[in-house]
Chains A and B, each alone.
Chain A
């Protein structure tokens, strides 16, 4: 039998989705279909005629409304087309599940913790970094939301979540910082995934829906990066002092040193042969004639 006759017999046209051909051939293999799509598929607007739709109701049943909302906004800028993929929506689901689980791992401690801005003023080291990251994210978030850049807002929230997950709180102060960060994260996510945020918020012990509480404001003081004065040596001799953020990487240290007026005088017309950088301590430039 010709393929064409088989199609005719089953009322199929060559413009139909290959899924129907597989069905009529008795092949019920979702994996084969997916592989085929990944290999040679063309993204096109979801439409009934192409049978490439995803029913929102199915997606809600599988992952929940929050996941669907999160995925749709994360997938790209609002005015651009985006391609729906199973991997994408699963990724959004995993993020919310991760949030849920991490929250509950710390819930007992967090419920017993309270904090005030005053207590979070003079932090040092890791907790200071966490707090800075949280407030920087919040500040960027406010700008992204104003500009309707929801996808970048979400990306930054996810990054913050990663930072929090890497943090291993032990002391009381750690939990104070963690709690503040968590609450800010919930507020930022709330417009996007309101249900899960309301639930976690209430589990923290709050009795009213989130919209009754004030939206957090970025603490300008927390945004400041701690700075250090670092000596710059040229061929082992102290020639200048520069200001660097704590834990600045070599690239930053080098470019800051090279843009210093005094340093430039000494290296003018010479070649930099080597840079020795000891984090938070000193930078030594080894120079010689070209």
Chain B
């Protein structure tokens, strides 16, 4: 009789006792890695699929004679543990470690051939101290900085809410409407690596799914164009455009409501009241929602700028469809050749002037012509192709000090600050005398205090006095610790390196060990990580490459994005409609149809 339970238990024990899957340096290596799980409590079928694929590869490669590294660990910091603490009063650490031990047993029952000696949990101080060390390196290189960030704020709980804690615009716990608030936050300057992150995607072609590569390319969003200066009297307004060939068709300028000179210009134009109320209204809507806004709205600032190409006077507006975070936060509106500008111009009856026509055929009616073509009504540039005119017009304006060539990226710097307890403390100290002081390396780790009360009100760390109050490493006077913790994507941006040398107490890892095992030969996980995790991990790898700690430019040689596990289900709604019933019908009728 085939008794799988008995057979499986027996062999799992044999493998474990023989230490069969332990990996040591030597021979020809293969590194098989599955994206490590968040210890949510129990594994689900998606995990099983993910890890089964990895395990088959690992076991097959061992047969082929490779020395296989196949590790497993836990992405263990994060919000659910803190939510469990708020709801059930259990400490996030206890909750997390219990989940880890349960899930580990579950994984063992599946017979995965992991080298469990290399297990890591990102919430262990032995791991997160190296997060802090990395942060100090970023800081030292000028790649970590602090600026204001817009966050969700619950005025009742006095706490910052993650996006997933905002339900229909309200706080998930107390249903108070969430407001926008600006808080100082730590950023990593990933934009300094934008070009390399884009360029090195070429190394991954044919090895990563094309879909992931193109998602990363779009996320980085490189555009080449020109930075053009328009003047309102003595005040310059810089705009970035990818279509300098259409500058003769600019009929007005639009500033984002948050643009610092919006109000200044409104003052000059005598429109302060109107503009202020408009800005207030737009600011109440989160930036993320604004792009989706169907209705474009704007307000005239009462001033005019000069088009440097033809000297024409242009109205200056502020509108909700221009975002301060993108480009320069101001645009030259060319309604004839940009559909959004076109719609805005129609609504507010602003002039529309065509300056590019298709090389064949006619200009479209009732909409903007967004393609390239041949220039018309553009002075000396008329008759030139768009391609050529982009360069010529920019050079011509540049000679006269009005423009320059410019490349921009859609990619923004990464806000790693979280006003949360269950994460890696950011190793920074604020001193009244010395200012912002990084924690010296030898003082790491900055331990996350265990005695904390997690109530859902405020940032828990702020109330732990032993933690907050410290001495300044420079002047030894009293000082305060940073209470923000790190985004957990920080933790997962380099864990694959730590697996190569997981128990090192002296350094983040031994260079030689990482040189032996890296890069990861097969990395397996869900497509949902196409941009954030996989982009951040590539960023960290490049940063460590610059520090001379790793030899590979890219961390993951081959990426496998496994599909989802689906199952059929029927909702009450579709069941009722299948029976030809609605909620208005009588329950008796449902019973009658059922039998």
Contacts and interface: CB of A to CB of B under 8 A. Distances in A.
Interface stretch (B75-83, B485-493, B583-591): B583-591
Contact of B110 (A3, A7, A65, A145): A65
A206 interface: no
Contact of A7 (B14, B49, B572, B574): B572
Interface string B26-68: 0000000000000000111111110011011111101110000
Contacts of A100: 2
B453 interface: no
Contacts of A175: none
Given A36-B570, A44-B567, A84-B567, A67 B4 contact: yes
B2 A195 contact: no
Contacts of B57: 148, 191
B571 interface: yes
B575 A36 contact: yes
B582 A45 contact: no
A73 interface: yes
Nearest to B524: A78
A36 B583 CA distance: 19
Contacts, number: 225
Contacts of B578: 40
A49 to B, nearest CB: 10
A53 B566 contact: no
A56 interface: yes
A73 B56 contact: yes
A205 interface: no
Nearest to B568: A41
Given A46-B46, A68-B110, A82 B569 contact: no
A53 B8 contact: no
B45 A46 contact: yes
Interface stretch (A11-19, A221-229, A259-267, A276-284): A11-19
Interface in B537-595: 560-576, 578, 581-587, 589-591, 594
A290 interface: no
A73 B53 contact: yes
Interface string A186-229: 01001110111011000000000101000100000000000000
Contacts of A41: 568-570
Contacts of A121: none
Contacts of A80: 563
B567 A4 contact: no
B475 interface: no
Contact of A54 (B47, B56, B567, B575): B567
Q: Is the interface of B mostly helix, strand, loop or mixed?
A: helix
B587 A52 contact: no
Contacts of A145: 56, 60
B106 interface: yes
A166 interface: no
A38 interface: yes
Question: Which of A20, A45, A85: most chain B CB closer than 10 A?
Answer: A45
Contacts of A44: 566-569
B196 to A, nearest CB: 27
B565 A45 contact: yes
A209 B14 CA distance: 9
B11 interface: yes
B70 to A, nearest CB: 12
Contact of A84 (B7, B56, B565, B585): B565
A126 to B, nearest CB: 28
B209 interface: yes
Interface string A66-77: 111100110011
A144 to B, nearest CB: 11
A101 interface: yes
B572 A84 contact: no
A180 to B, nearest CB: 17
B584 A3 contact: yes
Contacts of B570: 17-18, 36-37, 40-42
Contact of B11 (A40, A55, A198): A198
Nearest to A86: B567
A83 to B, nearest CB: 5
Contacts of A53: 44-45, 567
Given A41-B570, A54-B45, A211-B62, A4 B584 contact: yes
Given A66-B111, A191-B59, 20 more contacts: A3-B576, A18-B570, A18-B575, A40-B575, A43-B568, A46-B565, A51-B569, A57-B42, A61-B5, A64-B7, A66-B4, A72-B49, A72-B565, A78-B560, A79-B562, A85-B567, A100-B2, A101-B2, A148-B57, A191-B55
9 contacts: A2-B585, A3-B576, A4-B584, A18-B571, A50-B569, A50-B571, A57-B106, A73-B52, A192-B56
Closest 5 CB pairs of A and B: A64-B4, A41-B568, A4-B583, A52-B569, A191-B59
Interface of A: 1-4, 6-7, 12-18, 20-21, 25, 27, 36-38, 40-46, 50-57, 59-61, 63-69, 72-73, 76-85, 96-97, 100-101, 145, 148, 150, 187, 190-192, 194-196, 198-199, 209, 211, 215
